[in-house]
């Protein structure tokens, strides 16, 4: 989907932006997007309504009534997420929502994590991507069960998708469910999936100030994995600055420096997972919402 204006829900490519926004104009059949989506017929500027039009407008206004809604836009997702959370608690499963930008190394990190947990903690994986089942196939190659969700044009997983996907996965008590979200540091922040924790992965090939640029995601996460640390000798990446940026946004965030390739920090990450699965399996009410 186009990141300039968000258009492209019909599968268009970004090529149309070379000449401004003709695609947007065609779809809207109206002016530039504004703070309000005005669609009235008498709203042309610089034009005075005729007496007849005013009478019609007054007549229409007389039939209007106000209806109170007072509901959150995320109410439905939050209800589905609460249902997922109850299901995870009843099953005694520790569930994590892994979020990052594309290319941070989520899937490789996941594969290496699964290898380390083999024979120790039963786990299953839900993979979210716009297209292809490549990632689920990479997970299945390790022997772990995986379900792929393709969001099509969607830029994040939502709670209903996860609720549907988990029905086809074996979830063992004391086990772990890893949900790899669509690579995107913006949209997945708002959508609770029912997970115990969001884990944000930042790689050292990105900018140190990413937590400040995308604060919602780093604020929503409980743990940050700083990945690809084996590359630090070749980069001008200031680890302390990156961690300070993350803590500026979220003073309580826990940070583990890792490298899926060299194994750095993987023991600490695996122990964090083991502690979480043990707690979830032992106390099935532990993750119930307050």
Partner 1 sequence: MHELSLAESAIALIEDAGRRESFHRVRVVRMEIGALSCVEPEALSFAFESASRGTCAEGARLDILPIPGEGECAACGMRAAMETAYDLCPRCESRPLKVVRGTGMRVKDLDVE
Residues that bind partner 1 (CB under 8 A): 1, 5-6, 9, 27-28, 33-40, 60, 63-77, 154-156, 158, 186-187, 189-191, 212, 215-216, 219, 248-251
Rounded distance, CA 72 to CA 175, Å? Answer: 33
The pairing of strands 94-100 and 176-180 is: parallel
Rounded distance, CA 75 to CA 79, Å? Answer: 6
In terms of CB distance, is 73 or 285 closer to partner 1? 73
Q: What's the token pair of residue 153?
A: 């044009």
Exposure of 201 in the CB half-sphere (CA atoms within 13 A): 30
Instruction: Encode 250-264 in three state secondary structure.
Output: CCCCEEEECCCCCCC
In terms of CB distance, is 198 or 228 closer to partner 1? 198
Least distance in Å: CB of 107 to partner 1? Answer: 22
In terms of CB distance, is 46 or 251 closer to partner 1? 251
Least distance in Å: CB of 287 to partner 1? Answer: 23
Least distance in Å: CB of 27 to partner 1? Answer: 7
**Cα–Cα distances in Å, from 140 out to 36, 119, 124, 127?**
47, 15, 10, 11
Q: What's the token pair of residue 31?
A: 């002016």
In terms of CB distance, is 72 or 240 closer to partner 1? 72
Least distance in Å: CB of 187 to partner 1? Answer: 4
Q: Are 171 and 182 spatial neighbours (Cβ–Cβ below 8 Å)?
A: no
In terms of CB distance, is 114 or 220 closer to partner 1? 220
Residue with token string 């990190």: 109
Least distance in Å: CB of 40 to partner 1? Answer: 6
Least distance in Å: CB of 244 to partner 1? Answer: 12
Enclosing H/E stretch for 234: none
In terms of CB distance, is 10 or 236 closer to partner 1? 10
Rounded distance, CA 127 to CA 139, Å? Answer: 9
User: Could you tell me how far CA 253 lies from the centroid of its own chain?
Assistant: 18
């Amino acid at each position: 989907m186009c990141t300039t204006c968000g258009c492209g829900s019909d599968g268009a490519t970004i090529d149309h932006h070379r000449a401004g926004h003709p695609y947007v104009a065609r779809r809207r059949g109206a002016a530039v997007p504004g703070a309000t989506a005005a669609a009235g017929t008498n709203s042309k500027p610089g034009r005075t309504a005729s007496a007849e039009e005013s009478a019609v407008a007054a007549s229409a206004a007389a039939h209007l009534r106000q209806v109170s809604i007072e509901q959150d836009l995320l109410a439905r997702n939050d209800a589905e997420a609460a249902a997922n959370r109850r299901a995870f608690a009843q099953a005694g499963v520790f569930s994590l929502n892994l979020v990052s930008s594309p290319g941070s190394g989520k899937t490789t990190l996941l594969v290496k994590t699964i290898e380390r947990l083999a024979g120790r903690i039963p786990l299953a994986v839900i993979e979210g991507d716009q297209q292809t089942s490549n990632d689920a196939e990479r997970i299945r190659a390790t022997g772990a069960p995986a379900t792929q969700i393709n969001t099509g044009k969607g830029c994040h997983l939502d709670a209903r998708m996860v609720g549907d996907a988990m029905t086809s996965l074996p979830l063992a008590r004391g086990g772990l469910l890893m949900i790899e979200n669509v690579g995107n540091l913006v949209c997945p922040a708002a959508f609770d999936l029912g997970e115990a924790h969001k884990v944000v992965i930042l790689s050292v090939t990105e900018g140190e100030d990413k937590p400040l640029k995308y604060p919602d995601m780093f604020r929503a996460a409980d743990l940050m994995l700083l990945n690809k640390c084996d590359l630090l000798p070749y980069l001008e990446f200031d680890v302390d600055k990156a961690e300070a940026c993350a803590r500026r946004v979220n003073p309580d965030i826990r940070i583990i420096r890792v490298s899926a390739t060299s194994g750095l920090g993987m023991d600490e990450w695996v122990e964090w997972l083991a502690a979480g699965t043990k707690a979830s399996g032992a106390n099935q009410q532990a993750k119930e919402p307050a």
